[in-house]
Structure 1
């Protein structure tokens, strides 16, 4: 299924308005203002987010009323779990990246999750369970889509700073390639709603804006914490 052009435009324009390259976290990373140790610190925290993401995703899928529509994104959830291969589970990939950067993933423990990460995880779980599916699926679609841009910037920063060669930048290299498709799969769930009436369209827009705001707040908090 192809997304309606006006839905695509709304998503892309909303992301463009974020001006991510000028965001403090990404601009500092790209300009070399963060040490590798500071970057690892942020990735340690991000790993706690990654670990919880698929749980909230499962809740969203469960709340989609149509069986046929629901199956469209079950594959997305399965991919988050590495298609059953423990070595390819997305939560494992970020840990491998941390180790390759010189961190120690064995020392990570969720009790060290920052307030901002806890806020994100709790908020996303709440949205997934309690919000209208038109909002919650749009939240996930927006997060998946903006993560393409974020992953590209982080890959660029890691390589530019000489911390890793491109072939060793696991996790982000994958997501900058696959998450456009994942985003479209979530947004396909609400295409009929988007086309049906203005009330549904507005709920989808609310979800897109909410997803972008919730996710970029994580990086804004990283920037404050690393100052």
Structure 2
């Protein structure tokens, strides 16, 4: 199964994703990057909920424990200030002075709704192995992505290494989280060949979904959708052009 995971990651080739290519070569405008990260807050805030739903669908009690621990860690191990949604808000504040009001004033982009709704559906209604595979692959990818984004924002001078928060944690934590999901898959994979298709579907779904989210974020990076302006989103862009002209 490890070979399958590596194969899917190679085929997905997410390091050629426009989001990471432009962040790496310095052509990702900071204001656009910040806007995509504000949108990404929704994924951070939501991620533990389908994970928690998935726990109840895992048949083996012993296997549930690892995922329950992941849910607990997503909630700062009971420390409210360390809830991952709050550490991400701190990252946004240190990155560009963003407040919670700035985040809630944005209209959620469809790219984020697709991501969140897909996780909700697969974890609540699909074969549990598909859900486990999907979540495990996202955790695996996010460990590497967290290291890359953390290094990039420091290299760009957008934040200092001492200010970096959230991404430095997930760089390490999500390796363990991914392994907790993969351990469940390996047990099924090694004991029942009939599970292979479901496991592969889940792994591929996770890789495709997460890679697609970042590609979609980059393509939509110039959006500035604020509440009250969705009926005519061009208003925000027109105002931006006027301000630049002045």
CA distance in 1, matches of 2:75, 2:119: 18
Q: Deviations over 1:133-188 (max 9, x none)?
A: 11111111100001011112211210121111222221111111111110010111
TM-score by length of 2: 0.86
Secondary structure in structure 2 of the residue aligned to 1:167 = coil
Aligned to 1:64: 58
CA distance in 2, matches of 1:110, 1:80: 24
> Could you say which structure has the larger radius of gyration?
2
Within-5 A mapping of 1:86-101: 86-101=80-95
Structure 2 residue 197 is the aligned partner of structure 1 residue 189:
no
Structure 1 segments (4+ residues) deviating >3 Å? none
Deviates more, 1:184-193 or 1:48-57: 184-193
**What's the offset of the Cα at 1:22?**
2.2
Within-5 A mapping of 1:1-227: 7-106=1-100, 107-109=102-104, 112-226=107-221
TM-score by length of 1: 0.93
Deviates more, 1:24-33 or 1:189-198: 189-198
Cα root mean square deviation, aligned:
1.4
Q: Deviations over 1:68-117 (max 9, x none)?
A: 21112211110000001111001111110000011422221186110110
